[in-house]
Structure 1
Amino acid sequence: VGDDDQSIYAWRGANPENIDQLGRDWPNLRVIKLEQNYRCGKRILRAANQLIANNPHLHEKKLWSEHPEGAPIRVLECKDAEHEAEKVAAIATTLAEKHKARWHDIAILYRGNFQARPLEKALRLARIPYHLTGALSFLDRAEVKDLLCYLRLLTNPSDDAAFLRVVNSPKREVGATTLEKLGQLAQSRHCSLLEATRSDAVLRQLTPRPAAALAGFSELLDELRSASLHESAADLVERILKRTGYAAHIAASTPDPALRDRRLANLQELADWFRAMQKGNSAGDLAAQLALLSHADRDEPGNAVRMMTMHAAKGLEFRFVFIVGCEEGTLPHEGAIDEGRIDEERRLMYVGITRAKELLTLSWSARTRRYGEIHTNQPSRFLHELPQADLHWQGKDPEADKEIVRETAESHMAKIAAMLAGK
């Protein structure tokens, strides 16, 4: 069984020509075409068929479906990746509020994992749970988790897990034996580990050097806690990096210059996440902002928006699918354009489109930041290869746009009401 239109792993040796070669190796081979599609609505399937018709075919086939036509395919023009992510999050919220979609009914697909970062931020700020497939979430990166643990200790001094993560990050000459002893003393006094470090009676029972280090750590957190009363979370991140020596620790402990720059950039981006929350009035004080970042993790297990590359999505299906980054240079990828591998990129787009069962949304950004420079984009050639009668390009149909805006506004109001009600 094989489909030359879904051959998207040429770099693993999966070439469409292998299917043709099979027929030459076995002249009596009987070919049976399975052309009925049981997943997609007619409109989505029609778009996929017209797109892939631009590729040469070893075996001509015409997929068909008995499902209804379905809604027009939306095409969103966005200012940049952040704007694109915000639009995706807003539409996902509308699907949940107005169309009673479950989060796991929604998938966001992209060409490369680097595109996930702004989407993660937008979904977190919108309180939408998500699951990232095949890549490490931004908030799960070691340096980001360290900084968040510092902030958690400022709002909750009883957070022993956060204490244990950062008491030695950067190194403070506090070994495992000392921490074990500290834990025993804290338990005997029925207090947290941090509270135990404030007790002279506890510190006297430890050896001098780690006791002094723990006392210094406690004093540092007291200083940071005082600053947290009048500074924003973003400013606190900057202060923590400087006062704890964490930024210098990253620089010294990461020999690879590229990796070092990425890790330091992650810390700056964490500050940007807090600025975005403050700007959008998503949360007030530090405790509320930290709760917002962890909100998605407390949702019903398994009920989360799926985020993955189109390669990883092969074989899966979802009621609602977003394909982001539909601009020249991203999809198709600039490397594929330079090397003349457009056919495989088109097959990748075909796979992405045919993951959608009911509603497909395609989006592209007018501007992209690459290597610190702003580049102007053009919409992907694949968007123009789709049947235009089946597309709704945002901005070209005022009446349809008005209805979408109304639905989005209503869903936002419903979400705000639920938040105020404490749901």
Structure 2
Amino acid sequence: DKVHVHAAWDSEEEARAVGEAIEAYQRQKHNLNDMAILVRASFQMRAFEDRFITLGLNYRVIGGPRFYERMEIRDALAFFRVVANSGDDLAFERIVNVPKRGLGEATIRQIHDTARALRIPMLEAAGNLAESDELKPKPRAALREVAANFERWQKALETTPHTELAETILEESGYTDMWKNDRSAEAPGRLENLKELVRSMEEYESLRSFLEHVALVM
């Protein structure tokens, strides 16, 4: 067959066109196992994965995890989830010490115990411990900063465009700088994935609506 060139306005339009082509091939009795999409970088997979999930097309990623399963994406989403819902303890526990803040297992366990004893979210428990004498100065200061950050971001949630807020969260948390300072071969790709994640949020009205979408595709 001849090679066909298709010009697309953006990644979403490209994904729609590819999805339509795949469905057309399926109607012609072609097998999905005989089709493949080659991408230059992992961040380009996001639009295709979203589209295939919407269409109900089965797919598998070769050479790495799916976009939303990548570590940096899960970390970023955890930050966003806690901002949108301070009671999301699983998300909070994932990123309370990301980037490294000098919080050991004993401190995390103490946050757990306090939250359970008082029946409050871990974020609130962390804030309470930060203002008490139950921790040493270093972890207390780290938790005070974490609590202050989330309080500030949650206030901004209602007034700041969600894509701008997402960038702010990743910057102010130190997460973006963590990967900028990382000298591993994977770091540049992780930064590109984070940029794609934020860019993809433009399609949604709010942070919460974006997170609802992600919950469906993960």
State TM-score, norm by structure 1.
Answer: 0.44
8 Å Cα contact 1:233-1:271 kept in structure 2: no
**Cα distance between partner residues in 2 of 1:127 and 1:185:** 45
Are 2:12 and 1:85 aligned? no
Aligned residue number for residue 141 of structure 2: 212
1:125-144 correspondence runs (5 A): 126=54, 128=56, 130-134=58-62, 135-144=64-73
Report the identity percentage: 26
The offset of 1:110, in angstroms, is 1.6
Q: What is the letter of the counterpart of residue 109 of structure 1? A: M
Aligned residue number for residue 110 of structure 1: 36
Change (3 A) 1:190 1:84: same
**Cα distance between partner residues in 2 of 1:269 and 1:186:** 35
The offset of 1:179, in angstroms, is 0.4
Aligned residue number for residue 59 of structure 1: none
Structure with the larger helix share: 2
Which of 192, 195, 200 in structure 2 is aligned with 1:273?
A: 200
Are 2:183 and 1:255 aligned? yes
Cα offsets for 1:104-134 (capped at 9, x unmatched): x96683253646443124345x474754243
Which of 160, 171, 174 in structure 2 is aligned with 1:231?
A: 160
SS at match of 2:35: strand
- Give the root-mean-square deviation of aligned CA atoms: 3.1
**Cα distance between partner residues in 1 of 2:17 and 2:150:** 39
The offset of 1:239, in angstroms, is 0.5
The offset of 1:245, in angstroms, is 1.5
**Structure 2: gaps (5+ residues):** none
Are 2:213 and 1:292 aligned? yes
Are 2:136 and 1:183 aligned? no
Answer with 1 or 2: which has the greater Rg. 1
The offset of 1:295, in angstroms, is 0.5
Aligned residue number for residue 241 of structure 1: 170
**Cα distance between partner residues in 1 of 2:73 and 2:212:** 15
8 Å Cα contact 1:128-1:296 kept in structure 2: no
**Structure 1: gaps (5+ residues):** 1-50, 52-74, 100-104, 279-283, 298-423
**Cα distance between partner residues in 2 of 1:145 and 1:204:** 33
**Cα distance between partner residues in 1 of 2:34 and 2:81:** 30
8 Å Cα contact 1:121-1:273 kept in structure 2: no
1:16-415 correspondence runs (5 A): 78-80=6-8, 82=11, 83-89=13-19, 109-112=35-38, 114=40, 116-123=45-52, 126=54, 128=56, 130-134=58-62, 135-199=64-128, 203-252=132-181, 254-256=182-184, 258-275=185-202, 277-278=203-204, 284-297=205-218
8 Å Cα contact 2:201-2:207 kept in structure 1: no
**Cα distance between partner residues in 2 of 1:228 and 1:93:** 39
8 Å Cα contact 1:153-1:163 kept in structure 2: yes
**Cα distance between partner residues in 2 of 1:228 and 1:197:** 21
8 Å Cα contact 2:201-2:210 kept in structure 1: yes
8 Å Cα contact 1:196-1:202 kept in structure 2: no
8 Å Cα contact 2:46-2:67 kept in structure 1: yes
Paired residues in the alignment total 207
Q: What is the letter of the counterpart of residue 228 of structure 1? A: L
Q: What is the letter of the counterpart of residue 206 of structure 2? A: D
8 Å Cα contact 2:52-2:59 kept in structure 1: no
The offset of 1:238, in angstroms, is 1.1
**Cα distance between partner residues in 1 of 2:179 and 2:210:** 25
